[in-house]
Chains A and B, each alone.
Chain A
Amino acid sequence: MKLRILAATAAALAVTAVAGAEAGTLDTVKQRGFVQCGVNVGLPGFGSPDSAGNWRGLDVDYCRAVAVAIFNDPNKVKFTPLSAQQRFPALQSGEVDLLSRNTTVTLTRDSSVGLNFASPTYYDGQGFMVNKKLGVKSAKELNGATVCVQSGTTTELNLADYFRTNGMSYTPVVIENNDEVNAAYFAGRCDVLTTDVSGLAGTRAAVAPVPDDHVILPEVISKEPLAPAVRHGDDQWFDIVKWVVYATIQAEESGITSKNVDEQAKSTNPEIQRLLGTSAGMGKALGLDDKWAYNVVKTIGNYGEIFDRNVGPGTPLKLERGLNALWTKGGLQYAMPIR
């Protein structure tokens, strides 16, 4: 008799465990009351806590934007700092709902790692930083150099490819923790620090003892489109994240900012009416309130505002828009039509 009870309990356990995993991410998030978002453990401008412990950065703002789209509250997010090593298992296993952590879109990650990527929030490329004292002017002069690199990133692969293609040799020093990589470079353990150009700019601005001693070489050796990612298998959740990114880009294109969004909501332009939910329908399709994009722009701002606030020329990172300008201004940022 006891055996029967045991078997029944085990069977019930198995059924509930499997059933629990089937619920949609949006419903789970709504029920839980906040979005669980995986961010960088500390990359100035993209995801790092400020002196008061609040998470700041471009990637962080997209976590908040998703929370605003769902709850109309930028604080309904729980941030989980993830190392490059931890980020995919954390997303795969459901520890986070959304990974917004300067992650490069690649074929392998899109397929066999089981991720779905939204539109890139930052078009980046891998570069090299060296000490000015070495007198190196080009990455082509780096034959035989020792290179500091963080483990578990596409950076490691591009580095090997670049030196191989150019018939040069190098010695990698591969360390897991970003802070330790930077420390090794500034201590002189390596000649070269390599990561995405935006990351190099952030490190030079925030970590270098004397920022002017270090120069970022002109070569950009890879394409690094950085995009938020979600798990395979939940199309509704994927759509929400994707269209939140598009909404911020479209808002900039339509000239809507967090300052003038109320004025713009009165516009008779049908495109703006659809975006800001003055004409109904665009929210319901995503399972959200029709005002979702209005809330996002009002609270977080459009793409240009997010860029300028976190990494633009006015910040210590001093990054130009470059590839991240709108398509109408010669850049790559292009929102799919919201209709």
Chain B
Amino acid sequence: MATETRNARGAAAPRGASFSLSDPMFRAAFYQIVVVGAVVLVGWFLISNTLDNLERRSIATGFGFLEREASFGIGESLIDYSPRDTYGRAFLVGVLNTLKVSVIGIVLATLLGTLIGVARLSSNWLVAKLASAYVEIVRNVPPLLQLFFWYALASDGLPAVRQALNPLPGVYLSQRGLWFPVPSHDPIWQAMGIAFAVAVIAVIFLRRWAAARQARTGQPFPTGRIAFLLLLGLPLATWIAGGAPTALDMPVLAGFNFRGGLVISPEFFAILIGLTVYTAAFIAEVVRSGILAVNWGQTEAARALGLTGGQTLRLVVLPQALRVIVPPLTSQYLNLTKNSSLALAIGYPDVVSILNTTLNQTGQAIEGVTMIMGTYLTISLSISLFMNWYNKRIALVER
């Protein structure tokens, strides 16, 4: 292609600057302009036709409805919400619920997937076969069916609320969810949060200092253990300094349901476990292929240098495997986030579920669907950006 253009330029020049379709330069530009023009034309046609139709059928347009009172209830939310709040706030509740299940799901799926992926390579025949069976079964059953399975397990498989299981004091398990006590509200929690943040910053500096010292003197420093102590010890010290409050908010059966404490609803449980189990099967394959992609010679060479098994994995095999793992892993993270929209089927109030209700109450389907698309686009691009940045960071620097 490139050489063709170069030849053409050479040939066209002596003939002067006449515009002919036989001139490849002009032809290339011409077709691109035509294509762009056609896309713009079709887009303009679709938009103007839609607006025209909406107006003719006197369907309201615009995002003004977001400030109106929503007047519908939402089962669970991370921020305060009542039917008195606006559609805008209901939307925010949905976005946060989607983020909650996606973030926790991504962490759990990564842990489970890595475990299964490594297990599939295990030299233990039973472990390897069990892991293979898991991957093959879970990967090939549609996620929606799996969600229904987990939801049925949570709502049919557990006792009614009055016969709730009580494995530990204050912990109740029934078809209404898992209730457990949480520490009562106390200003100390905020202080502990600050202490944790301080510890994180301290650990970052400690790592830098340790790396510099090792480069200078060759002496390794037990960064991991010290960091662990800092992260755990600083908030703990703050808690003790604050008088070590132990008051608990206990769930108590009152009327129809438990009050107080925290609850994991069956809907959240089903969507979280469903997405985790499903995505973990794909992540397991990604991890397995990543590890297999690292030549066995690398391990042998590392052993020959006298590195321990842990160091071999951490310093030699994983850094190379990660380069293969991260790009497809990004795609699995995106899949998990997008699949969370299946929550609609089992009643978890994610962003799709809430916007569906909204667009049904207001009739503004186009705005609602646009907002759903915008939300997923934003989340997906954010994950993609972060993972690309991480991928670049761990990429092999070639000289």
Q: Please report A residues at the B interface, Cβ cutoff 8 Å.
A: 2-3, 6, 10, 13-14, 17-18, 21, 84-85, 88-89, 92, 108-109, 111-114, 134, 142-146, 151-153, 156-157, 159-161, 163-164, 170-177, 180, 184, 187-189, 191, 231-233
Contacts and interface: CB of A to CB of B under 8 A. Distances in A.
B399 interface: no
A151 B360 contact: yes
A160 B72 contact: yes
Given A160-B73, A171-B75, A184 B257 contact: no
Contacts of B152: 187
B89 to A, nearest CB: 14
Interface in B189-248: none
State the 7 A-B residue pairs at the shortest beta-carbon distance, nearest first: A113-B363, A152-B360, A112-B60, A160-B83, A114-B57, A175-B347, A114-B59
Given A146-B257, A157-B72, A171-B257, A17 B49 contact: yes
B73 A159 contact: yes
B176 interface: yes
Interface in B13-65: 34, 38, 41-42, 45, 49, 52-54, 56-60
Interface string B342-356: 001111010001001
A174 B75 contact: yes
Interface of B: 34, 38, 41-42, 45, 49, 52-54, 56-60, 71-75, 83-84, 152, 155-156, 160-161, 175-176, 254-257, 259, 266-267, 344-347, 349, 353, 356-357, 360-365
Contact of B357 (A151, A173, A189, A232): A151
Contacts of A113: 59, 362-363
A246 B160 CA distance: 49
Given A10-B41, A174-B347, A187-B175, A151 B84 contact: no
Contacts of A112: 58-60, 362-364
B58 A232 contact: yes
Contact of A143 (B42, B56, B255, B345): B255
Contact of B353 (A18, A159, A161, A174): A174
A172 B34 contact: no
Contacts of A157: 71-72, 361
Contacts of B45: 10, 13-14, 17
Contacts of B59: 92, 112-114, 232
Given A21-B53, A184-B155, A144 B259 contact: yes
Contacts of A187: 152, 155-156, 175
Contacts of A231: 57
